Structure 1
Amino acid sequence: MSEFTGKTAIISGGAEGIGLSIAQALGAEKMNIVLADIDQTNLEKAGNDLAAAGIPVLTVALDVSQEEQWHEVANQAINMFGKIHMIVNNAGIGGDTGPIENQDQQGWQWALDVNLMGVVFGAKVMTPYIKSHGEGGWIVNVASMAGMGGIPYLGAYTATKAAVVALSESWAGELEPSGIHVSVLCPAFVQTRIHESGRNRQKKYQSKNSNPAETSLLTDLAKEKVEKGIEVSIVGKRVVEALHDGEFYIFTHPNYYSLAKQRAEMIDQAFNKSAQSPLLKHIVNQEIEMP
């Protein structure tokens, strides 16, 4: 019997793409699935598809940037399934594109509220429920390969995904004593509709970007990359595989290793340089103090 059998997972952004792929893969492991999404039309369809496959499913409308809506998701999940064992913070947007001087506050706030605060709220609200039953559980945060290294002209997206990686690293140590395993998923290009994330953009985040032609060009380039990406169903299966093995970083594109290695080598060189500085010789061998 799978370690997931009979347990309950909440998945934000679960109506399509990576979120739905993870829902299908966890459902195949006999988990109860709570799909939460801002797109209620796709949410209903996804819920019907999972139910038709024999997967116990609950659908709940959710704007991840609104903390109070997370509490409603939790209440409905508890009423339906009794316990919460896993939160998959998947909902995310591509954000505005272009050079930094063309970015405006609305575009940055959209990315921050959805990609970062959506993850914060999901973990904040669901962690007490996971702790309460004393059985341990899982938090899976969906970041990106962009979180492992910057991408030009995607500043807001890159910054928020890097923050999700760092948060996951922080929470892993914090929650391990409670038996809660934290993982961070870092995919590269996958066949989703992330390049169309503006379709669900809330009115308060409407951008004043003054160069729509430039934005359109970058969106077209992103679409081309996404359409050549891996099939989305692979991602959900990869997540289940990684969770069975207790992996923290979950990668879906091993061919990107060279980029991560290059970054690591640059960090090594920077530390070596600092160790050679006359200004820092007195702390080269100093014991590391962690809070």
Structure 2
Amino acid sequence: MRNLEGKTAFITGAADGIGFHSARALAKQGMNVMLADINAETLQQAVEVLKGEGFAVDGVVLDVAAREQWGAALDATLSAFDRVHFLLSNAGVSVIGGQQNIEEQEWRWIIDVNLMGVIYGCQVFAPHMKSHGEGGHIMNVASMAGLQGVEFASPYCATKAAVVSLSESWRSELAHSGIEVSVLCPGFAKTRIYDSYRNRQPQYGGPVYFDDLVKQKPSREASKEVVVTGVDVELIAERVVEGLLNNELYILTHPQFRQSQQTRFEMINTAFDRASD
């Protein structure tokens, strides 16, 4: 997509953080934006802020893990803006802890949100993009943690690695239908990902707030510190726009992680050398 003026974007997890600031950045490019979020109150506040800034936006409550809600979300968007050209699958949660301590319902939760939520979005929006014939773009938010595993974050890393792989697969698969695919892999940014449990759905155990988790286990405070000292989310939003306009497959935001990736590539190359001995 080279011209965003008058096109429509649909963004999940859009009430704050990367989703909200991406909505603003895209609206500045002349796009209509439908904000989707599981939290109705913060969603309404986000919509009111952007409308107050003069942008063409609307909102729809959506639990990305609930497949049955996606059709209604698309219908609401079409009612407001007629067609959708860009899907930013941004909603995500984090589970932290040693692998032996992570319960099954936590695995189910993070897989359903981080992975199945991305899959459902593509299943619902890709056919619509194909049908209107104007082309489209799907951008999935993964993480640097999806490119290299991190200790005590295996559920998050595993789901984000899956999102990277899905995006690579869909890139060629959907190109034949005029749909571009990208994957955004940010490092630490100033979001509320550390407080993911605040919106945990009842079937996965219900909400728990970060301050209460810290009371139970003070070491959890470290997971907040690395996030709140990260880069401003406005910088991530700028890369979203750049990646969309340039049709980048991998959209990276933190050049300081280059060396760790190069080290990984060297290890892989060494493994190939051993295989060919």
Fold match (TM-score > 0.5): yes
Q: Is 1:129 aligned to residue 136 of structure 2?
A: no
CA RMSD of aligned residues (A): 1.4
| 1:219 Cα offset (Å) | 2.8
| 1:193 Cα offset (Å) | 0.5
Conservation of the 8 A alpha-carbon contact between 1:98 and 1:218: no
Distance in 1 of aligned mates of 2:72 and 2:138:
19
Conservation of the 8 A alpha-carbon contact between 2:13 and 2:19: yes
Number of residue equivalences: 270
Distance in 2 of aligned mates of 1:160 and 1:149:
12
Distance in 2 of aligned mates of 1:192 and 1:237:
15
SS in structure 1 of the partner of residue 217 of structure 2: helix
- What amino acid is aligned across from residue 237 of structure 1 in structure 2? E
Q: Deviations over 1:31-58 (max 9, x none)?
A: 0100000011110010011111111111
Conservation of the 8 A alpha-carbon contact between 2:10 and 2:87: yes
- What amino acid is aligned across from residue 124 of structure 1 in structure 2? Q
- What amino acid is aligned across from residue 219 of structure 1 in structure 2? R
For 2:42, the equivalent position in structure 1 comes to 42
| 1:218 Cα offset (Å) | 4.6
Question: Is there any run of 5+ residues in structure 2 with no aligned partner, and where?
Answer: 207-212
Give matches, 1:168-247, under 5 Å.
Answer: 168-206=167-205, 216-247=217-248
* 4+ long deviations beyond 6 Å: 212-215
Give matches, 1:147-162, under 5 Å.
Answer: 147-162=146-161
Q: Is 1:255 aligned to residue 256 of structure 2?
A: yes
For 2:209, the equivalent position in structure 1 comes to none
Q: Deviations over 1:96-155 (max 9, x none)?
A: x22111111011001000000000001110001111111111100000000000010111
Larger gyration radius, structure 1 or structure 2: 1
Distance in 2 of aligned mates of 1:261 and 1:138:
29
| 1:238 Cα offset (Å) | 1.3
Conservation of the 8 A alpha-carbon contact between 2:214 and 2:221: no
Distance in 2 of aligned mates of 1:12 and 1:215:
31
Conservation of the 8 A alpha-carbon contact between 2:93 and 2:114: yes
SS in structure 2 of the partner of residue 58 of structure 1: strand
- What amino acid is aligned across from residue 116 of structure 2 in structure 1? M
SS in structure 2 of the partner of residue 178 of structure 1: coil
TM-score w.r.t. length of structure 2: 0.94
Question: Is there any run of 5+ residues in structure 1 with no aligned partner, and where?
Answer: 277-291
For 2:162, the equivalent position in structure 1 comes to 163
| 1:233 Cα offset (Å) | 1.0
Conservation of the 8 A alpha-carbon contact between 1:195 and 1:219: no
Conservation of the 8 A alpha-carbon contact between 1:98 and 1:214: no
Distance in 1 of aligned mates of 2:152 and 2:205:
19
The 1:155/1:56 distance shift into structure 2, 3 A limit, reads same
Conservation of the 8 A alpha-carbon contact between 1:83 and 1:133: yes
- What amino acid is aligned across from residue 252 of structure 1 in structure 2? T
| 1:70 Cα offset (Å) | 0.7
Distance in 2 of aligned mates of 1:121 and 1:144:
19
For 1:268, the equivalent position in structure 2 comes to 269
- What amino acid is aligned across from residue 234 of structure 1 in structure 2? L
SS in structure 1 of the partner of residue 276 of structure 2: helix
For 1:289, the equivalent position in structure 2 comes to none
For 2:145, the equivalent position in structure 1 comes to 146
Conservation of the 8 A alpha-carbon contact between 2:50 and 2:57: yes
Q: Deviations over 1:174-209 (max 9, x none)?
A: 0111121101000010001100011001122129xx
| 1:216 Cα offset (Å) | 3.3
TM-score w.r.t. length of structure 1: 0.90
